Amino acid sequence: MREIRLKARAKINLTLDVTGKREDGYHLLETIMQTVALYDGIYMKKLEKPVIKLKTNLPWLPTDARNLAWKAANLMRETFGIKEGVFIEIDKRIPVAAGLAGGSTDCAAVLVGMNRLFGLGLSEAQLEEVAGRLGSDIPYCIRRGTVLCEGVGEVMTNVAHPCPDCYVVLAKLPVSVSTASVYKQLRWQEIEQHPDTKAMLKAMEEKDVAKMGKLLSNVLETVTIELHPRIAKIKARLMELGAEGALMSGSGPTVFALFTDRAKARKAAALVKREFALKDCLATRTYRVRRELRGEHNND
């Protein structure tokens, strides 16, 4: 195999709770992650020269060691003694610094791509282990689907009854939010309202999107909404437009809203985009990973 194309999909957090803090300062999480269909296109090609070349459609995005996709290729070359180089082209469609794990998912896709391109034969569990060395959301981006993530994100449990198929509006304010600074400002011991993770798992088992909508909850909203109050306004507007529920994803600033009706979701995305003058506002859907069908990991 000389070249490969992959889809690096975004994620949302249906619930996000902070349950404590480790001695090294990292917060302990309990979060239900869900893959959505929106993806960055990844193209990879073997090079004879021992170099990593990266190109993206966003001129301001770093294409050197600061890019997580570059780091993924570099770690795989070093760890597995790959002599040849690789060219990677990323068509970024996932908004950057948005709480949608755009960088992490590109990174995971490149790990998958290196495994296939160079015939390394690593299992998904082995890829997840390598991913954990690069960042806390990256093992999840290898696994994908509906997953309960604990610890700092690396303790993963596949949810037995995954999220029912539904439509998702993603609306991002034109501001960048640093995940590290949100966690730094979080007074987690003072949080009064914690997500009910068990009830969310039950609602998914019952395939009850309306119930899921009411249970969406993210403790990081306490920090990011204070910084950007328009997040609350976007949530309220999406509810008026027929969403079953709306929530900030990750550390923000993207708001997502769940819909059972495709036409309603598309209309809501168009209206919110116009009313809030957003560049990034679109309708997508939840993405289901068919684990039973998956042989070799191929990021379909």
- Output the smallest distance, CB 228 to ligand ATP, in A: 14
Complete DSSP assignment for 63-111: -STTSHHHHHHHHHHHHHT--SEEEEEEE--SPTTSSS-HHHHHHHHHH
Residue 67 interacting with ligand ATP (CB under 6 A): yes
Residue 179 interacting with ligand ATP (CB under 6 A): yes
Give backbone dihedrals phi and psi of 211, rounded to 5 degrees, phi first.
-65, -40
SS3 content of the chain, % helix, strand, coil (to 5): 35, 30, 35
Contacts (CB under 6 A) with ligand ATP, residues 123-152: 137
3-state SS class at 300 = coil
Q: Are 98 and 248 in contact (CB under 8 A)?
A: no
Among 14, 68, 159, 281, binds ligand ATP (CB under 6 A): 68
Q: Are 86 and 18 in contact (CB under 8 A)?
A: no
Tokens of 177: 């939010």
What residue has token string 């948005």?
98
Query: Annotated catalytic sites, by residue?
Result: 11, 137
The answer to whether 219 is a known ligand-binding residue is no
Residue 251 interacting with ligand ATP (CB under 6 A): yes
Q: Which stretch binds ligand ATP (CB under 6 A): 45-53, 99-107, 230-238, 282-290?
A: 99-107
The answer to whether 271 is a known ligand-binding residue is no
Q: Which is nearer to ligand ATP, 31 or 197 (CB)?
A: 31
Distance from C-alpha of 125 to C-alpha of 58, rounded to nearest angstrom? 32
Residue 221 interacting with ligand ATP (CB under 6 A): no
Residue 18 interacting with ligand ATP (CB under 6 A): no
Residue 224 interacting with ligand ATP (CB under 6 A): no
Q: Which stretch binds ligand ATP (CB under 6 A): 97-105, 183-191, 223-231, 273-281?
A: 97-105
The answer to whether 19 is a known ligand-binding residue is no
The answer to whether 295 is a known ligand-binding residue is no
Which residues contact residue 191 at a Cβ distance below 8 angstroms, ignoring those fewer than 6 apart?
18, 219, 222
The answer to whether 215 is a known ligand-binding residue is no
Q: Which stretch binds ligand ATP (CB under 6 A): 27-35, 62-70, 122-130, 276-284?
A: 62-70
Residue 227 interacting with ligand ATP (CB under 6 A): no
Residue 96 interacting with ligand ATP (CB under 6 A): yes
* DSSP-assigned letter for residue 165: P
Please report the sign of the dihedral spanned by the C-alpha atoms of residue 160, residue 161, residue 165, residue 171: negative
Cis peptide before 174 (omega within 30 of 0): no
Among 183, 250, 278, 299, binds ligand ATP (CB under 6 A): 250
What residue has token string 């290729």?
73
3-state SS class at 4 = strand
Q: Which stretch binds ligand ATP (CB under 6 A): 94-102, 112-120, 266-274, 280-288?
A: 94-102
Among 29, 73, 100, 173, binds ligand ATP (CB under 6 A): 100
The answer to whether 195 is a known ligand-binding residue is no
Q: Which residue ranges are tagged as binding site for ATP? A: 95-105
Q: Which residues line the annotated binding site?
A: 95-105
**Contacts with ligand ATP, residue ranges (CB under 6 A):** 67-69, 96-104, 106, 137, 179, 250-251
